């Protein structure tokens, strides 16, 4: 069986041709982001362009494809008009324009009730209802033109099949879906935001076929016409599918954003976590995820390298990071440091905070060295990681074997050294791609 697997991240799209579960050809295409004050979007038109480029690079050499699966970053709210022209999006979790709208939704629905209805608080940017209400309040003429609302997978699948669909994992991030009972869109919330259910995607499990490649998409991309395309899911869910999906299974993604995802048999909504269905339920089992993140994990290290250690080669910075990490491993992470420098790790904010949070260094003096600042940053990120691990372990005992992914191995090793208990760490092979293969299988 030959599967075209598409892993759509917030910085790049990876396209792979997989035969019987083995990757035969892999391509990567960059994806741009736009930052304008509190507004952060990945331009949907450019996302589609990158998708077309990635697919075309695969089909230039491989013409037989039996199925297409994809995952994508989330949230990434997008809307189109009656001619399928993109009106806005994809609006990401870093977008903070809708803080006022978040407060309005919680005031109307109630904080605890909203949590029990949708599984999450209406985080600005992080939950699509706040973004949609912002457009209704601030760009009413544009809002009236909306015909379709969705997430990245909705847009990408529509481009391939003409169908407008969504799976439960992506639907949860719209903030209009009952992600606890999986019973569909919530009329009360739709009415509050001013959205008709007819504007929202058809809900399908990720392991259901969403549609088939249209003739126009086939001609444009070199795909076989009629090739089935699965409804697909969030990228973290795809990575979890590469495991056995046991309740208590933990996946640690140490990338630009540091993500801990815990697999559960039943939902466990909490105001300090992101809760969502895994997305499957047709052939594969229904599961839920409890997710805790450091919005700037690896990107904190990149920022420090670029701004404080630009004169260091990557190899030299790697050695310094490892040395400081080993120094922290020699004592408890909460033990006093040689300096009083501290760091608040919010360079990209906090995905589970309604008000914007920013990073700060404190207690700097003329005696402070840049190595002290780097050590303080590593210490604070490791402390935050341990706290998140302990928080998730209270929901469900965590399995001894933990699966890892992401490119920030130095930082991950430091984090793991300070997690309580004894664990083994297994690197996921091909990460989300393996989960997408399982989805098609």
Q: Residue 363 pLDDT > 70, yes or no?
A: yes
Tens of pLDDT, residues 107-138: 999 999 999 999 999 999 899 999 999 999 99
Q: Do domains 2-231 and 239-441 have the same CATH topology?
A: yes
What's the mean per-residue pLDDT of the chain? 92
| Cβ 398 vs Cβ 262: under 8 Å | yes
% of residues, the chain, pLDDT over 90: 75
At residue 103, what are phi and psi to the nearest 5 degrees? -65, -40
Q: How confident is the model at residue 331 (pLDDT cuts 50, 70, 90)?
A: low
Beta-sheet strand order (sheet of 274-277): 274-277, 288-294, 258-264, 250-254, 401-405, 424-427
Q: Helix, strand, or coil here: 90?
A: strand
CATH class of 2-231: alpha beta
| Cβ 100 vs Cβ 138: under 8 Å | no
| Cβ 150 vs Cβ 187: under 8 Å | no
Please give the residue that has the higher pLDDT: either 99 or 37. 99
Tens of pLDDT, residues 29-87: 998 888 888 888 999 999 999 999 999 999 998 889 999 999 999 999 999 999 999 99
Cα–Cα dist 89/79, whole Å: 7
* Domain covering 239-441 in this structure, CATH number: 3.30.420.40
User: In the chain, where are the structural domains located?
Assistant: 2-231, 239-441
Return the closest-CA partner of residue 46 out of 37, 36, 34: 34
Burial letters for 314-351: b for 16+ Cβ neighbours within 10 Å, e otherwise?
A: eeebeebbeebbeebeeeebeeeeebebbbbbbbbbbb
What integer pLDDT is reported at residue 273 of this predicted model? Answer: 92
Structure tokens at 190: 């739709």
Q: How confident is the model at residue 327 (pLDDT cuts 50, 70, 90)?
A: confident
**pTM to 2 decimal places:** 0.90
Q: How confident is the model at residue 357 (pLDDT cuts 50, 70, 90)?
A: confident
Q: Residue 204 pLDDT > 60, yes or no?
A: yes
What integer pLDDT is reported at residue 438 of this predicted model? Answer: 87
Burial letters for 379-395: b for 16+ Cβ neighbours within 10 Å, e otherwise?
A: bbbbbbbbebbebbbee
Q: Residue 335 pLDDT > 60, yes or no?
A: no
DSSP states along 105-153: HHHHH-HHHHHHHHSS---TTTSHHHHHHHHHHH-HHHHHT--EEE-HH
Phi-psi region of 23 (alpha: psi -120 to 50; beta: other; left: phi over 0): beta
Q: How many CB atoms are closer than 10 A to CB 22? A: 10
């Amino acid at each position: 069986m030959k599967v075209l697997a598409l892993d759509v991240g917030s910085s790049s799209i990876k396209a792979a041709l997989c035969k019987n579960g083995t990757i035969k050809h892999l391509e990567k295409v960059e994806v741009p982001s736009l930052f304008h004050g509190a507004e952060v979007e990945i331009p949907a038109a450019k996302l589609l362009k990158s998708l077309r480029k990635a697919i075309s690079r695969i089909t230039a050499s491989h013409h037989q494809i039996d199925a297409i699966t994809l995952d994508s970053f989330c949230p990434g709210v997008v809307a189109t008009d009656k001619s399928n022209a993109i009106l806005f999006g994809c609006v990401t979790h870093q977008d903070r324009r809708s803080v006022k709208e978040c407060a309005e939704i919680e005031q109307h629905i109630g904080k605890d009730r909203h949590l029990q209805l949708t599984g999450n608080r209406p985080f600005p940017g992080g939950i699509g209802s706040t973004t949609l209400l912002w457009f209704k309040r601030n760009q009413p003429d544009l809002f009236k033109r909306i015909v379709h609302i969705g997430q990245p997978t909705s847009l990408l699948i529509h481009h391939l099949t003409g169908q407008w669909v969504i799976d439960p994992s992506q639907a949860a991030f719209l903030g209009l879906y009952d992600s606890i009972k999986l019973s569909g869109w919530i009329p009360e919330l739709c009415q509050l935001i001013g959205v008709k259910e007819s504007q929202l995607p058809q809900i399908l499990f990720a392991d259901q076929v969403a549609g088939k490649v249209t003739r126009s998409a086939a001609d444009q991309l070199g795909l076989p016409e009629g090739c089935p395309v699965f409804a697909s899911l969030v990228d973290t869910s795809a990575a979890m599918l590469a495991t056995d999906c046991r309740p208590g299974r933990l996946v640690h993604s140490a990338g630009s954003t540091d993500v801990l995802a815990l697999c559960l048999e039943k939902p466990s909504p909490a105001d300090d976590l992101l809760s969502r269905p895994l997305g499957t339920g047709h052939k594969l089992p229904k599961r839920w995820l409890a997710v805790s993140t450091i919005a700037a994990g690896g990107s904190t290290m990149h920022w420090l390298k670029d701004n404080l250690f630009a004169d260091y080669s990557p190899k030299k910075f790697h050695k310094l990071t490892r040395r400081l990490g080993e120094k922290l491993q020699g004592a408890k992470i909460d033990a006093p440091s040689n300096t009083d420098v501290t760091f608040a790790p919010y360079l990209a904010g906090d995905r589970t905070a309604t008000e914007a949070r920013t990073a700060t260094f404190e207690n700097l003096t003329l005696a402070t060295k840049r190595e002290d600042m780097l050590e303080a940053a590593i210490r604070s990120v490791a402390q935050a990681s341990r706290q998140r691990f302990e928080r998730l372990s209270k929901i469900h005992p965590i399995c001894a074997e933990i699966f890892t992914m992401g490119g920030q191995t130095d930082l991950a090793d430091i984090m793991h050294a300070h997690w309580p208990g004894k664990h083994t760490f297994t690197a996921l092979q091909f990460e989300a791609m393996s989960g997408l293969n399982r989805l098609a299988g």
